Amino acid sequence: MTGYHHGNLREALVLAAVELGREKGPDGVVIREVARRTGVSHNAAYRHFADRDELLREVARVGHEELARTMVDRKRRVRVKDPVDRARRRLREVGKGYVDYALAEPGLFAVAFSSVDIADLTVAYQQLTDALDECLEVGFLPPGKRDGAELSCWAGVHGFAMLYSTGPMREASKKDRDADLNRLLDRIDDSLKA
């Protein structure tokens, strides 16, 4: 970032903080560094954010919005006419989008889950809820399995994302990782069907 000149300082500070989050994760989002990158004093930054936690929540919100967009983009790729197959594939693509984002943006993904406000989770979480509701509506997911299905699906892909983005599986080849993700999504699919 080249520095702040005129306009919306708060927005410029958030953009600088997002870049720090991308580069260094939650520990890298520091108001003094954000102010330095924006070209203003840290006192000027504190006029827009009461403390680091408030700034971190803003960066987390951006991360959740980007995560949700990635999930939506993946879901929109599904072009299948059969309603059951379409619902199943859309649920699968929501999971793949979640993992895609975690792998592409490990720093910002970490920030997104370091300072979580449940309201920020709603946008991404809604993609999962909608996909599961669609599976229920077309008869793939029986009503008795619908309650709590979000948690099982989310825990599966979140755990996978952590293992392969910053955890012990981060050195796995793309081919192995993709095969492992497909196996995980197969197991989730199997657990949901009637």
- With pLDDT > 70 as the criterion, what percentage of the chain qualifies? 94
Give the predicted TM-score (pTM) of the model. Answer: 0.91
CATH architecture of 61-192: Orthogonal Bundle (1.10)
Q: Distance between CA 73 and CA 192 in Å, rounded?
A: 23
| Residue range 135-178, pLDDT digits in tens | 999 999 999 999 999 999 999 999 999 999 999 999 999 999 99
Judged on CB neighbours under 10 Å (0-12, 13-18, 19+), 23 is: exposed
111 close to 23: Cβ distance less than 8 angstroms: no
User: Who wins on pLDDT, 18 or 116?
Assistant: 18
All structural domains of the chain with their residue ranges = 9-49, 61-192
Say if domain 9-49 classifies as CATH 1.10.10.
Answer: yes
